[in-house]
Amino acid sequence: MTVQGIILSDLDGDRTWRLADYVKRGGYEALKKIIAEKIPADQIIGEVKKSALRGRGGAGFPTGLKWSFMPRAFPGAKYLACNSDEGEPGTFKDRDILRYNPHTVIEGMIIAGYAMGCERGYNYIHGEIFEVYERFEEALQEARDAGLLGQGILGSDFSFELYAHHGYGAYICGEETALLESIEGKKGQPRFKPPFPASFGLYGKPTTINNTETFASIPFIIREGGDAFLALGKPNNGGTKLFSVSGHVNKPGNYEIPLGTPFSTLLEMAGGMRAGRKLKAVIPGGSSAPVLPGSVMMDCTMDYDSISKAGSMLGSGAVIVMDETTCMVKALERLSYFYFEESCGQCTPCREGTGWLYRVVHRIENGLGRPDDLDLLNSVTANIMGRTICALGDAASMPVQSFVKHFGDEFAFHIEHKKCLVPKDVQHEGSKIYVA
């Protein structure tokens, strides 16, 4: 793992996750400073705003601004939730944060609880990484035993309780309101918005939800200052960010780099393309982000603004790299199957539309495509987008639109010739078991 960042730096894999190690790295200094100097909540939110930290969960919403939406004078309980339900295909950063540096998330959440006056928080952890959930429980206990968490933190009158909650296999629970439903012990089906969680969240109380990596960035911002964090990245895109690089590279893994780093540098860090093959396409922000041709990516820098100008999204920072052996129809078929499987079924356009998308891409891939199928795909996506309760409908549509837009020739070839443009044995060779 190459590290020049603030979350996964100075770590020694599995061996340095405990409280004592974290304290040695300057851990909990930010919290201690807040308590000792009685820093006002406004000042903390101001510092987070200055840092230009943007939500690391996918939407890239400015965190400081989100925190300022929490009603200050609300008389009852307020809650905090951490979204560790990492299930967006291609994303595997929060797992590493939680298993290698869990206390930075805990400290970030305590500080957030202080800044927004929340009395309780939950960390919702993806069910498939159950071992990480168990470790997080241990880390929580360490923090409680050290007086960092619970009633009267560090001898002050500030109290904050934090609990871990695990999912059990439902991608949709990563959507923030579905996540709240799931913590309440129900099916994870997204709620209508508005009302937004800041006014009606967990158990009907004001709630703020942030991604694991977002919380993990907070201790640094308080310790070193918002300006220092901003300076690591570029204007409007503060800080360093974790990128999960997967696919046809020599060294898949997490790379923490300053926002604004050229994509070509990241690709080099990940060991370059496998067997010297040519870069064909990249999905720069998790499976829901539009795909971009390799040549376009090579001109991008890795930050919210550059990727969005190129027509995609930085999303969760999951970079899926595909080389020339990839059949783009087959790749899309697998993604469309995923969204069809994971639609929660509440809204008709999403439930029926994701089924249509999968079936049409499936038949094109299997040589049964019809001449007007590409128009059909575009019209189905147009009927889904903007007409659903949550963003899964859009997330399922954007890959379809972008694959057809950039690789339309390959789809047309399938329909006309009833086979792949990339020969099957080449595909087979390109995607065989590869372990770095």
Partner 1 sequence: MGALRIAQEEKGWLANETIEFVAKYLGMPAIAVYEVASFYNMYDLAPVGAKKIAVCTNLPCALSGGVHAAEYIKKKLGIDFNETTADGRFTLKEGECMGACGDAPVLLVNNHQMCSWMTEEKIDQLLADLKK
Ligand X SMILES: Cc1cc2nc3c(=O)[nH]c(=O)nc-3n(C[C@H](O)[C@H](O)[C@H](O)COP(=O)(O)O)c2cc1C
- Rounded CA gap, 259 and 303, in Å? 5
Partner whose binding site includes residue 346, from ligand X, partner 1, ligand SF4, none (CB under 5 to 8 Å by kind): ligand SF4
Binding residues vs ligand SF4 (CB under 6 A): 172, 190, 343-347, 350-351, 388-390, 392-393
User: Binders of ligand X among 24-63, rule CB under 6 A?
Assistant: 55-59, 61
Partner whose binding site includes residue 388, from ligand SF4, ligand X, partner 1, none (CB under 5 to 8 Å by kind): ligand SF4
Q: Which is nearer to ligand SF4, 263 or 339 (CB)?
A: 339
Q: Which is nearer to ligand SF4, 5 or 190 (CB)?
A: 190
Spell out, one character per residue from 334 to 353, where the chain touches partner 1: x when CB under 8 A holds, - when not.
xx--x--xx-----------
210: which 2 tokens? 């942030």
Partner whose binding site includes residue 357, from ligand SF4, partner 1, ligand X, none (CB under 5 to 8 Å by kind): none
- Rounded CA gap, 429 and 304, in Å? 34
Q: Which is nearer to ligand X, 345 or 408 (CB)?
A: 345
Q: Is 167 a residue that touches partner 1 (CB under 8 A)? A: yes
Backbone angles phi, psi at 241, to 5 degrees: -145, 150
Partner whose binding site includes residue 350, from ligand SF4, partner 1, ligand X, none (CB under 5 to 8 Å by kind): ligand SF4
Residue 193's contacts (CB-CB under 8 Å, 6 or more residues apart) are 177
Q: How far apart are the first and last CA of the chain?
A: 12
Which of 4, 199, 246, 366 lies at the binding interface for partner 1 (CB under 8 A)?
A: 246
- Rounded CA gap, 392 and 189, in Å? 11
Partner whose binding site includes residue 351, from ligand X, ligand SF4, partner 1, none (CB under 5 to 8 Å by kind): ligand SF4
User: Binders of partner 1 among 250-289, rule CB under 8 A?
Assistant: 252-254, 287
- Rounded CA gap, 249 and 274, in Å? 5
- Rounded CA gap, 78 and 200, in Å? 10
Assign 165 to helix, strand or coil.
strand
CB of residue 190 to ligand X, shortest distance in Å: 7
Q: Which of 65, 45, 69 is nearest to 55 (CA)?
A: 65
Q: Which is nearer to partner 1, 37 or 425 (CB)?
A: 425
**Sole residue written with tokens 């999968």:** 358
CA distances from 220 to 1, 6, 37, 223 (A): 20, 7, 17, 5
Structural element, H or E, at residue 244? strand 240-247
Contact by Cβ (8 Å): 103, 144: no
Which spans of this chain sit near partner 1 (rule: CB under 8 A)? 86-92, 94-95, 126-131, 165-171, 182, 185-188, 244-248, 252-254, 287, 318, 320-322, 326, 331, 334-335, 338, 341-342, 430-435
Which spans of this chain sit near ligand X (rule: CB under 6 A)? 55-59, 61, 66, 83, 85-88, 172, 174-176, 209-211, 214, 390-392, 395
